Amino acid sequence: MSKFTTELAKRRTFGIVAHPDAGKTTLTEKLLLFGGAIQEAGAVKSNKVKKSTTSDFMEIERQRGISVATSVMAFEYRDLQINILDTPGHKDFAEDTYRTLTAVDSVIVVIDVAKGVEEQTEKLVEVCRMRKTPVIVFINKMDRPGKEAFDLIDEVEQILKLNARPLSWPIGMGDRFQGVYNLFEQRLVIFRPDNKQERPEEILEFTDLNDPELDKIVGTDAAEELRSEVRTINEIYPPFDKSEYLSGDLSPVFFGSAVNNFGVKEMLDCFVDIAPSPRPRHTEERLVRPEEEEFSGFVFKIHANMDPRHRDRIAFLRICSGTFERNTNYLHVRQGKKMKFSNPTSFMAAKKTVVDEAYPGDVIGLYDSGNFKIGDALTSGEILHFKGIPRFSPEQFRVVLNADPLKTKQLNKGLDQLMDEGVAQLFTRDYDQAKIIGTVGALQFDVIQYRLEHEYGALCRYEPLNLHKACWITCDDKAALEEFLQRRKRDLGHDKEGNVVYLAESAWSMKMAQENHPKVQFHFVSEQ
């Protein structure tokens, strides 16, 4: 077996998605703890002023206690190289999450036991279903009162439309929570509420739940309830089939409490056994397989100023095939030029280390002086265009104005770089050259304003703008396109790439434009 084949088999790259506050970032930390990537859990410190975790590295995230940028973290566990992409849960940053889902091979969905399946989770899982991405479900916060386990499984099946298969089962919940029974390995794991990480969990082998020893450990009522529920599970749900999970048709479900570091190891051990190694990726030209010798990868995220002391911009590259090597010339497909990288980095949240080589499934950071856009391909020389990296039509708009004329240069540079990150989109209105920022959610306006001031020293203010939609237009009929451009002059602008964008004032004007110009196509998603 070659080194390349061995390394490829070791890779597991997955994303963690959830609604805000479901405990996603806490779960990420506990996984890092098991991998020895961090020394102490409880880097999630919560006091009135400061609330931060290993994976939340932007200042605004620390202040608000939410993840607004996707973090990439790598660690080793049981001889495997595990790459986690932690995504923003907040719906205003859904676009970043959708793009991140293009870079992972499987997903863990975190659900809060009290709230059940929430709207944001629903949308993200829909993207996973469309792509046939394997999904594991982790039901979190079992040490708090919440919905019944069977009701939660029903929600997973009915709302998320996933075929669920419990692989662990809780014994009680809230104050009555005593642990979980690991159905995958037929073991009982006892919960100790005071055990954050100091003592190992108490794990007991139980191949036969009828063993009277169970009654002594959890009490007769709880033991009877567990026996009855496990019987029901085995009757209702088909046996777990790994191939069905890998094809995206079956989703294992685990229960636990991330903040107490409970039930996490069971899920991680199972994940390591069943999760897919790097999968093929579609390009416009052909299917790219990870085991191919020639290198290829695509940029799914750009982040400016990860370290505000150094004005660094980093492009996150998912490697799809071959071996990436430091100081080697690769083709930047869109620009048609060769580039080499002297300090590609791997990540442990905000900590970065230079890597000499990386393999399919790995995500590396490339220092970028403005060459990359989201969706760009880097290859050994072949012309490839990776598919399925979406840019969504914005739903909220504001005109951005310079609040300090002496800092015009800084403002323009800041806007330019932040838009390349995909935080929002910038349109220039044709008739008055007004700069319009369009976002999926309102919180992004605050983030842009904050980052312009703190990272670029530029001040901006916003003017409200009543727009219904911005959408891209295409038309094969030259005359029809010309007529549209003439008649709709006041409603046109251009995006950062120079593409024509129709800025519809209302749903009615959108409808009229579509009816009056049947040969013009209006696009609400633009694949980059």
pLDDT average, residue stretch 172-181: 87
Does pLDDT of 266 surpass 90?
no
Q: What is the pLDDT of residue 527?
A: 57
The pTM of the full predicted model, rounded to 2 decimals, is 0.76
Q: Where in the chain is the domain with CATH 3.30.70.3280?
A: 393-527
Q: Where in the chain is the domain with CATH 3.40.50.300?
A: 3-67+105-274, 281-379
Looking at the structure, give the CATH architecture of the domain made up of residues 3-67+105-274. 3-Layer(aba) Sandwich (3.40)
Please indicate whether residue 369 or residue 295 has the higher confidence score (pLDDT). 295
Q: Please, what is the average pLDDT of the chain?
A: 83
Q: What is the pLDDT of residue 313?
A: 77
Q: What is the pLDDT of residue 43?
A: 44
CATH class of 281-379: alpha beta
E strands, 230-387, in order: 251-255, 281-282, 287-288, 296-304, 313-321, 324-325, 330-332, 337-339, 345-348, 351-354, 357-358, 363-367, 377-379
Q: What is the pLDDT of residue 50?
A: 35
- Domain 393-527 grouped into CATH 3.30.70.3280: yes
User: For residue range 507-520, what is the model confidence (pLDDT) as tens digits?
Assistant: 899 999 999 999 99
User: For residue range 444-482, what is the model confidence (pLDDT) as tens digits?
Assistant: 788 888 888 888 899 999 999 988 888 889 999 999 999
pLDDT average, residue stretch 333-346: 91
- For the chain, what percent of residues have pLDDT higher than 90? 41
* Matching residue, tokens 């983030």: 447
3 state SS for 68-96:
CCCEEEEEEECCEEEEEEECCCCHHHHHH
- Give the type of residue at 146: G
Rounded Cα–Cα distance for residues 162 and 69 (Å) = 27
Does pLDDT of 42 surpass 50?
no
